[in-house]
């Protein structure tokens, strides 16, 4: 595969496998990235070339690599940084050259297991990269939160506009790119646009890293874009499933049979009412309780609000509390009207997309697990409430209360 190889992390091993990074000019690189059709791999899937051109047009731009990986169910960026740091760092260099930036920054989760490998790789290189340690909170790795941390020491999202590409680090236009996006850039600079487009979906080409999880399963695979979700699940041994969560905790639940037939592209998943997000696929076995799993994650998302915006800091704990009571009781069915109201009134009213993602996630659960929801509402929870937890949640939050 392209990004994930048997190569060790040292610079020499990296160069042995991939060859040297060619010295291409900024304008040449911009054309190259446009032609390759690279889409950002941090979740939004925005065309990288277009983002770069906007930043390149600004005064004294800077680049910021985002290797924070706030999603608990994602491991791809940590894997890249730990095993192939020079791919990420080459990509950062390429991005800087493309936009005309003289300053390179990299944001990493404070407790990342890959930090040692990153530091070692930096010592093997000549360019200066300022590494920023980011607290492991869910919203801390949001792009405006990274800028806020770097500028003001506060890892909380900011009100936008202006977005980082307009005014970011030190008020300068800042290109924020996911670690995997940077890794692809490192190879596009070497092998060109045609090479990049030679695999994957014609409209969203290349390969993508996907973290696949389920009972007893947690691994990262590199697949051509457009790969079948069903093939991913079968390869992982995840067979007896009731539903699949695609896109992480801001993503959506999809019934297992429907999910198996979907292709891993932004386009396909959007058409199915979902999203690709940062390439996260979680299989929920038939014996689990979708409502309880959703309640646990909703509580986590509620506890992870930044405490800045009223609708989110009030609404998410209320939503999480209701879903928890629906899952394990005590449930008063009048609460359903409250839950519906909260789910309708919170999205779009925060400074960042945290409440929107949480709402989308919970709404998809109520939709996909509708039969189970009905049973729970009538006071007959399924046996799945006793099953082992499947969705990874970093620390046990208290449902109904914000951190």
Site string for another protein, 255-294 (x = CB under 8 A): ----------------------------------------
Using the rule CB under 8 A, is 349 a contact of another protein? yes
Which pair of tokens denotes residue 387? 């099953």
Q: Is 297 in the site for another protein (CB under 8 A)?
A: no
Is 189:21 a contact under the CB 8 Å cutoff? yes
Quick one: how far is CA 208 from the chain centroid? 12
CB of 157 to another protein, least distance (A): 8
Of these, 209, 326, 351, 363, which contacts another protein (CB under 8 A)? 351
Should residue 216 be labelled a site residue for another protein when binding is judged by CB under 8 A? no
Q: How far is the CB of 164 from another protein (least distance, A)?
A: 16
Cβ closer to another protein: 20 or 161?
161
Which of 347, 359, 340, 371 minimizes the C-alpha distance to 255? Answer: 371
Using CB under 8 A as the binding rule, whether residue 345 contacts another protein is answered as yes
Smallest distance from another protein to CB 160, Å: 10
Kindly determine how many residues on this chain lie close enough to bind another protein according to the rule CB under 8 A: 13
Contact window for another protein (CB under 8 A) among 104-112, 189-197, 230-238, 348-356: 348-356
Residue 28 as a binder of another protein (CB under 8 A): the answer is no
Cβ proximity to another protein, 212 vs 303, nearer residue: 303
314 is a contact residue toward another protein (CB under 8 A): yes
Task: State the binding string over 124-163 for another protein (x if CB under 8 A, else -).
Answer: ----------------------------------xx----
Q: Rule CB under 8 A: say whether 402 interacts with another protein.
A: no
Asked if 311 touches another protein (CB under 8 A), the answer is yes
User: Can you give the binding site for another protein, defined by CB under 8 A?
Assistant: 158-159, 308-312, 314-315, 345, 349-351
């Amino acid at each position: 595969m392209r990004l994930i190889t048997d190569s060790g992390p040292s610079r020499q091993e990296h160069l042995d496998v991939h060859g040297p990074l060619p010295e291409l000019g900024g304008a040449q690189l911009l054309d190259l990235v446009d032609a390759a059709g690279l889409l950002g791999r941090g979740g939004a899937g925005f065309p990288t070339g277009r983002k770069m051109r906007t930043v390149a047009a600004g005064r004294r731009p800077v680049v910021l690599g985002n290797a924070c990986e706030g999603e608990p169910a994602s491991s791809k960026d940590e894997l890249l940084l730990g095993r192939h740091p020079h791919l990420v760092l080459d990509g950062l260099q390429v991005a800087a050259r493309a936009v005309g930036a003289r300053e390179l920054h990299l944001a990493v989760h404070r407790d990342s297991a890959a930090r040692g490998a990153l530091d070692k790789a930096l010592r093997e290189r000549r360019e200066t990269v300022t590494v920023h340690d980011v607290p492991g909170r869910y919203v801390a790795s949001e792009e405006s939160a990274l800028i806020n941390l770097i500028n003001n020491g506060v890892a909380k999202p900011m009100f936008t506009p202006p977005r980082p590409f307009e005014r970011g680090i030190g008020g300068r236009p800042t290109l924020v790119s996911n670690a995997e996006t940077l890794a692809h850039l490192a190879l596009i600079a070497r092998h060109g646009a045609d090479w990049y487009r030679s695999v994957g979906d014609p409209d969203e080409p290349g390969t993508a890293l996907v973290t696949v999880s389920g009972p007893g399963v947690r691994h990262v695979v590199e697949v051509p874009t457009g790969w079948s979700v069903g093939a991913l699940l079968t390869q992982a041994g995840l067979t007896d499933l009731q539903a699949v969560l695609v896109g992480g905790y801001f993503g959506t639940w999809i019934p297992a049979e429907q999910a198996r037939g979907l292709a891993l592209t932004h386009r396909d998943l959007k058409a199915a009412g979902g999203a690709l997000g940062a390439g996260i696929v979680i299989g929920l076995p038939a014996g689990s309780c979708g409502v309880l799993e959703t309640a646990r994650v909703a509580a986590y998302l509620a506890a992870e609000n930044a405490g800045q915006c009223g609708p989110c800091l009030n609404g998410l704990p209320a939503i999480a509390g209701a879903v928890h009571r629906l899952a394990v009781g005590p449930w008063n069915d009048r609460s359903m009207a409250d839950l519906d109201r909260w789910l309708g009134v919170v999205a779009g009213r925060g400074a960042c997309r945290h409440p929107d993602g949480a709402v989308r996630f919970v709404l998809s659960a109520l939709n996909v697990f509708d039969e189970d929801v009905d049973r729970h509402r009538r006071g007959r929870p399924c046996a799945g409430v006793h099953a082992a937890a499947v969705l990874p949640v970093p620390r046990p939050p208290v449902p109904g209360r914000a951190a």
